[in-house]
Structure 1
Amino acid sequence: MEPPRRLAMAWGAFVARHRWWVLAVWLLLVLGLAAFAASTARILSPAGFETDTQAARAADVLKSEFPERRAPALAVVFQSDSAALEDAGYRSQLAAWRLDLERLARQTSAPQSPTVVVGPILSQDRRTAALLLESNEQPAYFLAAAREASGIRHEGPARVFIGGFAAVYNNFVMHSEQDLGQSERLSAPLALILLLLVFGGVVAGALPVLTGLGTVTVALALLGFVARIHTVSVFSLNVTSVVGLGLGIDYSLLVVNRFREELRAGADPETAVARTVGTAGVATVVSGGTVAIGFGALMLSHLNVLWSIGLGGSLVVVVSVLASLTLIPALLAVFGARVDSLALPFTRNRSLAGFWRGLAGSVMRRPLVFIVITLGVILLLASPARALRPGVLGSESLPPDDGAVQAQALGESRLSFARQQPAILVARGVRDLNQARELEADVRSAAGGQPVTGPGDVPPQLLGLYFKPGYAVYEVSSPGEVNDPSTHLWLDRLRAASWPPGVTMLIGGEPAAYQDFLNVLAGDVPLVIGAVLLLTFLLLAIAFRSVALPLKAVLMNLLSVAAALGVLTWVFQEGHLAAQLRFQTAGFTDATVPVIIFAGLFGLSMDYEVFLLSRIREEWLNGRSNAEAVAAGMERTGQVITSAALILVAVTSTLALSQLSLNKGFGLTFAVAILLDATLIRLLLVPAMMRILGDVNWWPMRRQALRRAT
C-alpha cells in the first residue's frame, strides 16, 4: 500500500473514532461564520480593473494638478412623454431632486475634490432633462451615493433613470447580490433532487448538499475577512458560491459512493470510513489540488478582479477538500449502514452497472471510432473560438432594461451626451503657454486628423482646465468605440509619437484605460496559462507516478477549454440566444472571461480525470491488464462522474439566469463545458486513448517496480 494511502486511512480511522468532536467543530464553525458570510457581498468592491498603468498615472496627475476638471459620477435623467419643463409638476420634481443631489454633493465633497451639481441639461423639446453630480474622484468613491440615489422617489410627470459610472458600479453590486441569492435558491434544491435520484435515499442524498452549503458558508466568510483588509472584487462572489457548492457536492458524492461500496463489500462502518478516506479521500486531495492550481494561478495577475476570483476559488477548494476529509467521513461514521435509510421506492433494485460495463466494452473494442467521433464534435464546438475578439465590458454587462443603461441611451439620443469619451493627453515639462500651444500642433499631427481641444482653442475663462505652469492637457476625440480595433491602432500611433525634448506625454482617458487594461491582461495570460499547465502536470505526475497520464490529461483539458471558448464566442460575442437569455450583444468577449474559464475549467474538468484515473490505476495495481483496468475503472466510476457532472451543471447553469451578462457567460459556458467534458471526453475519449496507448500509460514505471516502491 502506498504511503499516502496508508496515511489517509489512518486519518480516516481517527475521524471515525472522534466523529462527534469533528462534527461539533464544524457546527460551531458554520454557525459562527454564517453572519460574516451573509455580510460579505456588501463589503466587496465593484472596481478591481485598475492597476499601475499610464492611463492611471495620467488620472492621478489630473486629480492633483487640475482638481477643477470634473466628470459626471452620477447622471439623473428625467423623461416625460406628456409634459415639458414648463409644467409645474415637472419643475417641482426636478427641484426636489436637485435638493437631494446637492445634499449628496455636500456628503461626498472633500477639500481638494469638491463635488458639484450641474444642470439641468435640456433636450430641444424640453421633455428630457438631466442633473449631473460631477467630481474628479473615481466612480467607486460614489458607490454609497449611487445606492442612496437609487432609493430616492419624488412625484412628478417624468420617469427617472439614474446613470453614470457610479450607478453602473452600484448596479453591478446590486445585481451580483441578487444573482447570488437566486443561484442559491435554485441550485441547492436542484442538487438535492438529483442526489436523491443518484443515491435513491434521503439520507445519502442530503449529506452532500448539507456539506456543500457548509463549505460555501465558511468560504464566503473567509473571503469577507480578506475583503476587510484588502480590496476584493464583487465578481469573486458568484464564482466562489457556485464553485463551492458544486465542489462540495462533487467531493461528498465521491466519498459517500465509495463508503457505500465498502459497506457492501462487508466492512464495518469505521473500517469503511478509513478505506474510503484512503481511496476517495486521496482522490479529492489530488483533484482539489488541480482546481486550486487553476484558480490560484489567477492570483499571479496584476489585475485585482482576476486576483479576487483566484482567491475566492482557491479558498473554496481548500474548504471543500477539508470537508471531504473531515465533515463527510464523520457524518458517515455516525450514520453507518443507515446512510441508505429512507430509500425512495422507485429506486430500489436499480443498477446501471450493466450499462457502464457495456459502454466500456464498446470503447475497448472500437477505440479509434470513438476517438474520431468525439474529436469531431469537440472541434466543431471549438471552431467559433477562432473569431474570439477580446474587449472590456462596461454597462453592456447590465440587463438591457437596467436604469443606468436607459439613462445613457436617453442621454446620447436626446441630450447630446458623448457616446465616445476622448483620449486625454497630459503633457509634463511644459514651460509656458506658448510652448503648450506649439505642442498642440504636434498633438494634432499625431492624432491623425481627429479633433483636438487644448490650451490654444479655449476661451480665457476655461484656460485653467487645460494649462498650468509645467502641465498642459489635450482632449483628442477617438475614431471609434473604446473596444474597436481601429481605436487601439490609433492609440498605438499616439503612444509611438515623439515629443519635444523635456516633455513627457501621458495618455489617459477611457479609451487609453481600456487599452492599458487589455495590455496588462495580455502580459498576465502567458504566466497564468504556463503556471496552470506546468503545476497541473507536475501534481498529476507525482500522484500517478507517470508521465504519459498527466500529459494526456493536460491535452484532454485543453480540448475542453477550446470547446468552452467556442460556445462562449458563439453565444455571447455573436449574440445567439441573446433574446432568450436577455443580454446585450457587445460584438466582443470580455477579455477576463476566457482567462477565468481557462483557469477554472481546467481545474474543474480535471476533477473527473482524477476520479477516473485514480480508479483505473487502483485496478491496474491490483493485477488487471491495461484494457481490463480501463474498463473496470470506467464501470466503477461512470455513474459517479456523470452524476457529479449533472449536479455541477445544474449548479453552474443557475448563473445563466443571472442579470449580469458576465455571470451568464460563466454559468452557461461552465455548464456546457462540464457536461461535454464528463461525457464525451472523460467517458469516451480518455478511455479510448488509454486503450490505444496500452502500457505506455504507466511509463516510465512498470507495475512491479511501482509495487516495490510502495
Structure 2
Amino acid sequence: MTTHWKRSLAGALLVIVALVFLSSTAETPVDDFKIPGAESQKATDLFRDHAPSLAGADAQLVFTVNDGSISDPARRAAIESALADVRRLNGVSEVGDPFEQTSRDGRLATTDVRWDVEATELEREDAEKFETTVRDAAERDGVEVQMRGQVPDLAAQQDAPVGELIGVAIAIVLLTLLFRSGAAMAATLIGALIGVMTGQLLLAILAKPLGLPEFAATIAIMLGLGAGIDYSLLIIGRYREQVAAGDSPEDASAKSAATSGASVVAAGVIVIVALGGLLAIGIPLIGALGIAAAIGVACVVVSSLTVLPAMIGGLKKRLRPKKPEHVLPSAALARWGTLVTKRPYVSIGLAGILMLALAFPTLDMRLGQPDDGNQPAKNTQRKAYDQLNAAFGAGFSGPLFVTVETPRGEDVRGALTRLEGDLRSDPDIESVSPASASRDGAISTIFVTPKTAPQDERTTALVDRLRDSTIPAAVAGTSLNVYVGGQTASFQDFSAKVSSRLPVFIAIVIGLSVLLLMAAFRSLWIPLISAVFNLLSVGAAFGVTTLVFQKGWGASLIGAESDVPIISFFPVMLFAILFGLSMDYNVFLLSRVREAYQGGDGPRDSVVHGVARIGKVILFAGLIMASVFLAFVLTSDTISKMFGVGLGFAILLDVLFVRLVIAPAVVTLLGDKAWWMPAWMDRIIPNISLDGHDVGVQTEEELEAAIKQQTGETEKVS
C-alpha cells in the first residue's frame, strides 16, 4: 500500500464512487419497532389483521386560533378544504372530523389522520407532501396548524451536522498538538473520515434489506468518527516512531501495521463482537442498531489498514518527525506511571471509589421513552403536544388501546360493558371510549386516555395494573382475550424485554471479549481484570446519564428537559459500545506494556515504560473521542443528546481514571502472573500476535535507543 500509494488511493476512490452510485438508488431507511412475544405487539398484530387503518401510519393535526372561535365559518371552511385535500393523498384511509373534538374555549380542534400502510412503508416525500398539503390549505384567516405522530416525524427536517463538525474541529486541534505536524494530523483525520464515509454509504445501501432504523446512521457516525480517529492516530504515531528510529518509510509502515495495526484489528473485532451481541436481545430494532454500528466500525478498521498506508506513502516526506525526540516516551507520564505503581493500592482505592460513586445513581435509572414533550420548543411536534396537553390533559397525547379478541358468533356485549365500566373506575384514567368492533367482528377496541403523561411513572403503573388485575378480573369467566397496546405500552414492553435478555447479552459480550483478549495477550488474568475495568466505566456512564436526564443535573445547559426517562435501548447499546471502545484503550495500553515486558523489563518497569510510551496517545485519543461524542449534545434530538453525554463522559472517565490509574496499578500488583496462562489453555486458544517481531520490530528498549541515536546524529549535523 505504501509503495504503490497512487494505485491504492485510485482503487479506494473507485470503490467510493461505486458506493455513491449504489446509495443514490437505495430506498429510505425504516424503523422496525416490533417486540416479538409482547402483549402490545399482539394488540398491534390484531389491528393489522382485522383493522388495518388502526395499525397503519398516523398523524394528529391540531388547529388553533389566537382569537375568536375555530368554528367560525371561514376558518371551518379552510380546515375542511385542507382535510379534503388530505383524503386524496396516496395511502390515506381515514380522516376524522376535528370539530367533534374541540377545546372548552373553542380555540382548538384536533383530529387524526390514518394511512392504510405502516409508517415503514412510506417515503419521506409522502410525509412532506402531507405536511405541505395541510399547511397550504388550512393556514388562512388566522388558523395555525401543528402536527405530531409517525408521519410528521418522518417529514421532520434533519439537524445540520453541527455536532459532527465541532467534533472534527476539536480533533484537528488536538491531533496537531499531539503530532506537531499538519501532515500527520491530515493523514489521521482523512483516513478516519474516508472510513466513516464508506460506512455511511454502505448503511444507505443496506438500510432497506437489513431493516436498519434511521437513527442507526447517527450511531455509526458517532462510533466511526471516534474509533476511526483513534485507530488512525495509533498507526500514524507508531509509524513516526519507526521512522525516527531510522527505518525507511516502507519498513516503518510495515512495522506499524504489524504492531499498531494488529492492535487496531484486535480492538475493532472486540467492538464488533460487542455490538453483534445486541442480536441476543431478540428485538429487531436493537439488533439492527448493533449491525449498523458494527458496519461503521468495520469500515474504519479497513480504512486504517488500507487507505492510511497509502496516505503514508503519499505524505512520507512530511510525516517524518521534525525532531526525533518528539516521539520519545513522555517524561511526565513516566513520572505519573512511577507514582501510580509506587502505591498501587492507594491508586486503585481512590479511583475506584470515584467510579463507584458516579455509578451509584444507576440504581434509580428508569427506562422508558421520551415523548414529544422533550422535543425542542420550535418543533411542530412539541407545539402540538403542549397545545393538546393544555386543552385536554397530559394523558391525551399518549392514549392506550385495549384490544379484545371476540369469538365469532358469541354475544359479548355484556362482557364488554363490564370491562368498560371497570376501566372507567380506575382513578388514573381520564376517559374510556365505547368498544368499537372491526368490520369482520373479530376484535373490538376500547381507547383509554390516562390522566398522566406517557413518560410519567403513574402511567407505567397504570399499564401494569390494567394487565395484572383490572382486565383479568373484568373478563373472568368469559372467552375474551384482551391485550393492552399503544405506544406507551409498547415502550414498556420494550423495556421489559430488554431487561429480561440483559444477563444473556452481557454474558455473551464479556465471554467473547475475554476469549479474544486471551488470544491476543496469552494471559488468563489480564482479560478477566479488563472486563471488570470496563464494567466500572459502563456503570459510571449509566450514573452520569441518570444524573443529567433523570435528575436534571446540568440538563438545561445542553437544552434537555429534566425528569426524562432513559430511552429503553440505551443501556444495552451503551454497554455494547462502551465495552468495545474501552477495550480499545485497554489493548493499546497493555500491548505496549507487554512489548516492554517481553523485551526484558520487570513487571513494574514494563508498566511505567508502557504508560510513558503510549499514555500520551491514549490521553489524546480519549479527549478526541469524548469531544466527538459530547458534541452531539448540540443536536435537537433527545436520544442523540443522551448518547452524547453517556459516551462522552464514559470515555473521559475510562481514560483518566481506569486506563491511567487503575489498570497500571492492578497490572503492577499482578506482577509476572499478569502474563501467565495455563499450558492447556495456551495450546487450545489461537495465538494473535500484537508485537510484530516476525517482521523485525525492535523491543521497546531497542526502539527507544534507536530514536535517541537518531536524535544524537541530528544534533551533530546541526
What TM-score, normalized to structure 2?
0.85
Q: Distance in 1 between matches of 2:633 and 2:291?
A: 23
> Matched residues, percent identical?
26
Contact (CA 8 Å) 2:430, 2:450: kept in 1 or not? no
Matched, 1:284 2:264: yes
Matched, 1:653 2:630: yes
**Candidates 570, 582, 592, aligned match of 2:547:** 570
Deviation of 1:511 (Å): 4.1
Deviation of 1:129 (Å): 3.1
1:18-50 deviations in Å (ceiling 9; x for gaps): 33332221122223334656887x822255355
Partner of 2:17: 31
Q: Distance in 2 between matches of 1:569 and 1:508?
A: 27
Q: Distance in 2 between matches of 1:166 and 1:68?
A: 14
Contact (CA 8 Å) 1:161, 1:404: kept in 2 or not? no
Partner of 1:3: none
Contact (CA 8 Å) 1:568, 1:669: kept in 2 or not? yes
Partner of 2:698: none
Partner of 2:700: none
Partner of 1:422: 400
Q: Distance in 1 between matches of 2:463 and 2:77?
A: 43
Contact (CA 8 Å) 1:546, 1:698: kept in 2 or not? yes
Secondary structure of the residue that 1:126 maps to in structure 2? coil
Matched, 1:73 2:55: no
Q: Distance in 2 between matches of 1:70 and 1:631?
A: 62
Give 1:330-341 correspondences, 5 Å limit. 330-340=310-320
Q: Distance in 1 between matches of 2:273 and 2:57?
A: 41
Contact (CA 8 Å) 1:360, 1:634: kept in 2 or not? yes
Matched, 1:306 2:283: no
Matched, 1:193 2:179: no
Deviation of 1:226 (Å): 1.3
Give 1:206-221 correspondences, 5 Å limit. 206-221=186-201
Distance 1:575 1:49, change over 3 A: farther
Q: Distance in 2 between matches of 1:192 and 1:37?
A: 29
Q: Distance in 2 between matches of 1:520 and 1:25?
A: 45
Deviation of 1:650 (Å): 1.5
Partner of 1:8: none
Q: Distance in 1 between matches of 2:423 and 2:97?
A: 33
Contact (CA 8 Å) 2:226, 2:625: kept in 1 or not? yes
Deviation of 1:349 (Å): 6.4
Give 1:302-701 correspondences, 5 Å limit. 302-340=282-320, 353-414=330-391, 418-429=396-407, 431-433=409-411, 435-438=412-415, 440-441=417-418, 449=426, 465=437, 469-476=441-448, 478=450, 480-483=452-455, 484=457, 485-494=460-469, 499-500=476-477, 502-700=479-677
Q: Distance in 1 between matches of 2:225 and 2:304?
A: 13
Deviation of 1:238 (Å): 0.9
Deviation of 1:268 (Å): 0.9
Distance 1:35 1:664, change over 3 A: farther
Deviation of 1:66 (Å): 4.2
Distance 1:552 1:46, change over 3 A: same
Q: Distance in 2 between matches of 1:512 and 1:652?
A: 31
Q: Distance in 2 between matches of 1:302 and 1:610?
A: 30
Q: Distance in 1 between matches of 2:581 and 2:65?
A: 51
Contact (CA 8 Å) 2:63, 2:108: kept in 1 or not? yes
Please list every run of 5 or more consecutive structure 1 residues that lacks an aligned counterpart in the other structure: 1-14
Secondary structure of the residue that 1:300 maps to in structure 2? helix
Q: Which amino acid aligns with 2:655?
A: A
Distance 1:136 1:482, change over 3 A: farther
Secondary structure of the residue that 1:418 maps to in structure 2? helix
Distance 1:441 1:414, change over 3 A: closer
Matched, 1:170 2:154: yes
Give 1:5-20 correspondences, 5 Å limit. 15-20=1-6
Deviation of 1:478 (Å): 4.9
What TM-score, normalized to structure 1?
0.86
Deviation of 1:118 (Å): 2.1
Please list every run of 5 or more consecutive structure 2 residues that lacks an aligned counterpart in the other structure: 690-718
Secondary structure of the residue that 2:406 maps to in structure 1? strand
Q: Distance in 1 between matches of 2:616 and 2:191?
A: 20
Contact (CA 8 Å) 1:208, 1:253: kept in 2 or not? yes
Deviation of 1:534 (Å): 0.7
Distance 1:501 1:124, change over 3 A: closer
**Candidates 107, 116, 134, aligned match of 2:95:** 116
Matched, 1:106 2:81: no
Deviation of 1:420 (Å): 4.4
Secondary structure of the residue that 1:526 maps to in structure 2? helix
Q: Distance in 2 between matches of 1:195 and 1:31?
A: 28
Partner of 1:184: 164
Q: Distance in 2 between matches of 1:256 and 1:70?
A: 53
Partner of 1:10: none
Secondary structure of the residue that 2:66 maps to in structure 1? coil
Q: Distance in 1 between matches of 2:33 and 2:125?
A: 17
Distance 1:270 1:348, change over 3 A: closer
Distance 1:182 1:44, change over 3 A: farther
Deviation of 1:388 (Å): 0.6
Q: Distance in 1 between matches of 2:479 and 2:64?
A: 50
Distance 1:25 1:44, change over 3 A: same
Deviation of 1:231 (Å): 1.8
Deviation of 1:387 (Å): 0.7
Q: Which amino acid aligns with 1:421?
A: P
Distance 1:339 1:505, change over 3 A: same
Partner of 1:235: 215
Q: Distance in 1 between matches of 2:111 and 2:371?
A: 22
Q: Distance in 1 between matches of 2:168 and 2:297?
A: 18
Distance 1:474 1:338, change over 3 A: closer
Deviation of 1:396 (Å): 4.2
Q: Distance in 2 between matches of 1:334 and 1:476?
A: 66
Deviation of 1:480 (Å): 4.9
Q: After alignment, is 127-136 or 185-194 more displaced?
A: 127-136
Contact (CA 8 Å) 1:428, 1:503: kept in 2 or not? yes
1:101-152 deviations in Å (ceiling 9; x for gaps): 4333222347xxx222422343333333335424565455566544224444
Matched, 1:160 2:144: yes
Contact (CA 8 Å) 1:541, 1:550: kept in 2 or not? yes
Q: Distance in 2 between matches of 1:332 and 1:225?
A: 30
Distance 1:95 1:192, change over 3 A: farther
Distance 1:680 1:598, change over 3 A: same
Distance 1:496 1:690, change over 3 A: farther
Q: After alignment, is 576-585 or 314-323 more displaced?
A: 576-585
Secondary structure of the residue that 1:399 maps to in structure 2? coil
Deviation of 1:474 (Å): 4.0
Q: Distance in 1 between matches of 2:102 and 2:462?
A: 31
Contact (CA 8 Å) 2:57, 2:117: kept in 1 or not? no
Q: Distance in 1 between matches of 2:521 and 2:125?
A: 52
Matched, 1:54 2:31: no
Secondary structure of the residue that 1:178 maps to in structure 2? coil
Q: Distance in 1 between matches of 2:71 and 2:414?
A: 44
Q: Distance in 2 between matches of 1:127 and 1:624?
A: 80
Deviation of 1:674 (Å): 0.4
Q: Which amino acid aligns with 2:486?
A: G
Distance 1:140 1:353, change over 3 A: same
Contact (CA 8 Å) 1:216, 1:241: kept in 2 or not? yes
Secondary structure of the residue that 2:210 maps to in structure 1? coil
1:222-241 deviations in Å (ceiling 9; x for gaps): 11121132321111111101
Contact (CA 8 Å) 1:430, 1:471: kept in 2 or not? no
CA RMSD of aligned residues (A): 3.2
Deviation of 1:99 (Å): 2.9
Q: After alignment, is 361-370 or 531-540 more displaced?
A: 361-370
Contact (CA 8 Å) 1:400, 1:584: kept in 2 or not? no
Contact (CA 8 Å) 1:72, 1:164: kept in 2 or not? no
Contact (CA 8 Å) 2:399, 2:447: kept in 1 or not? no
